[in-house]
Structure 1
């Protein structure tokens, strides 16, 4: 049995990935055939949940010809989704791998600007689709034009749902400064954690201390801070956990965070504890970096790596 999972993607992207032998300024660069994927934080979470054998409903804002093409890619992957008409043309993103060095260069377009009427339509749809007792994932970049407290407004329209938030920048700072009542999970990268803390988080204990301070302040019931290739730290009331990242050969870091969120939320939706969820999420993130471009994690890789990501108390 699995509780309902809803993902929200208001600034999706048509992800294109290609390769060139070498990036040279001023030269005409001949690219390899592009690989196309549906992209955006919440949409990637739904894709990874599907890869792991789970179910979710993806709410995706689509617009223009790019939105039509993105919808086709979503259908091709078998993702259950509802589309809402977004303003303007759905954005595109480009990942270019330099063949000689293996370095990746990621170019992200901003997306169309959202007005007040656009935002109101989202609140109405969320109120109708979010399920009490289910999990609702707000992940990825916010569309241009929304207020800094937009995540709080989104959460308020999903009454009774367990809200999982994976955000960054000014939106993350706003959530820490003015906590969203009842927020279930807040995830951030290590660099974001250090920016918020105003200091280096040198060790996992330092990271756990800071995460625990956020829990104590009521920022979220669970706070997760990624420590890159080292692993992930989770703090909740009276408990701190660390899951080591399995050692793998990195092909692409695209989608690692989204794969983590997908596996973590899926475990919670299946009534697993925080320790099992943290382990599964960490294994999924490690599995994601072994795949090319924007392909996310594969279930067989996650299960193979899971024994090496066992969560322990800090």
Structure 2
């Protein structure tokens, strides 16, 4: 089931229970230009991992006509797909970008995963995580599709098997994964606000304190992305501001998933955590400058790593 990891091309398992088919209408010389892609948080992480020279195996439940299409699209991009057949359909959405902004026309939620499908997917991911350089946990597109406690069990079991666990989660799934224990938690400041871990008027110092609390809750290391502001990186007990280049934005979506992929790629290659965060920030910055979600080329990302600066925070507040 697994392929031995090599120093040249490490291997990472990515858990995405509910990938989605994306249909986006662009404008080309005034005429509609329709693009179809495999999407969803895990797909976007896997896409950037592949671009960064890491083999990514995506573990997902696939079903319905939407699942047939997105499976082929994912494989065409070089993403290895370890799929479990689901009687329900994968989700899908149609966006119109002809005005320069995303307008959602249709959004179809994924079908909830039944017990047997979830059990099979759980075992499949554990098998792929065994011997992998890292295991990435991403959340369901619809929280109702997967019980949150699944993430507690996955985090704990993957660490028991010796995998470094990178979690990019929010809400109840985040809380559950922390209970299982994760190596690196990546979360956005907006997600912390949306789920009550930060107030609407929280300052940067409040976000630093939130990172410390997340460490106390079960994350060895914490990275908080903050939109266009410096990210917060709590690494080995020390807090840093991670300043990246501010490129002209084309589309901010997917930047956080690219950051997660960059951090994971650094971990998979056994680089110091500071270098892994620099790679993640650079990957996120390149994605913001492009229209595709979690896209970018390895050379451009590599050239920006040196422009990412980590500034120590002298005395972070106690949690």
- Residues 198 and 173 of structure 1, relative CA distance in 2, 3 Å threshold: farther
Trace 1:162-177 onto structure 2 (pairs within 5 A). Answer: 162-175=164-177
Give 1:227 deviation, angstroms: 0.9
Match of 1:26 in 2: none
| Partner Cα distance (1:312, 1:277) in 2 | 15
Runs of 4+ residues over 4 Å off in structure 1: none
Trace 1:124-143 onto structure 2 (pairs within 5 A). Answer: 124-132=123-131, 134-141=133-140, 143=142
| Partner Cα distance (1:57, 1:297) in 2 | 19
- Residues 75 and 224 of structure 1, relative CA distance in 2, 3 Å threshold: same
Give 1 or 2: higher strand fraction.
Answer: 2
Give 1:297 deviation, angstroms: 2.3
TM-score of the aligned structures, taking structure 2 as reference length = 0.85
Contact 2:15 / 2:137 at 8 angstroms: preserved in 1?
A: yes
Match of 1:65 in 2: 65
Provide the secondary structure at the position in 1 that maps to 2:33: coil
Match of 2:101 in 1: 103
Match of 2:316 in 1: none
- Residues 240 and 165 of structure 1, relative CA distance in 2, 3 Å threshold: same
Deviations 1:235-292 (A, max 9, x none): 1342112211311111112211111111110001111112111111111111001111
Match of 1:24 in 2: none
Provide the secondary structure at the position in 2 that maps to 1:83: strand
Match of 2:284 in 1: 285
Structure 1 residue ranges without an equivalent (≥5) = 22-29
Relative to structure 2, which stretch is displaced further, 137-146 or 249-258?
Answer: 137-146
| Partner Cα distance (2:212, 2:16) in 1 | 29
- Residues 142 and 38 of structure 1, relative CA distance in 2, 3 Å threshold: closer
- Residues 38 and 272 of structure 1, relative CA distance in 2, 3 Å threshold: same
Match of 1:79 in 2: 79
| Partner Cα distance (2:186, 2:87) in 1 | 28
Match of 1:244 in 2: 243
Deviations 1:190-234 (A, max 9, x none): 12233313463322x43222202321x242001111111113111
| Partner Cα distance (2:235, 2:67) in 1 | 39
Match of 1:25 in 2: none
RMSD: 2.3
Deviations 1:28-50 (A, max 9, x none): xx972211111111121111011
TM-score of the aligned structures, taking structure 1 as reference length = 0.87
Deviations 1:18-67 (A, max 9, x none): 2379xxxxxxxx97221111111112111101111222222122112221
Provide the secondary structure at the position in 2 that maps to 1:266: helix
Contact 1:167 / 1:187 at 8 angstroms: preserved in 2?
A: yes
Match of 1:10 in 2: 17
1:90 matches 2:97: no
Relative to structure 2, which stretch is displaced further, 290-299 or 242-251?
Answer: 290-299
- Residues 295 and 120 of structure 1, relative CA distance in 2, 3 Å threshold: closer
Contact 1:166 / 1:187 at 8 angstroms: preserved in 2?
A: yes
| Partner Cα distance (1:108, 1:155) in 2 | 30
Give 1:154 deviation, angstroms: 2.4
Trace 1:1-314 onto structure 2 (pairs within 5 A). Answer: 1=7, 3-19=10-26, 32-99=32-99, 102-106=100-104, 108-132=107-131, 134-141=133-140, 143=142, 144-158=144-158, 159-175=161-177, 179-194=178-193, 195-198=196-199, 200-203=201-204, 205-215=205-215, 217-294=216-293, 296-314=295-313
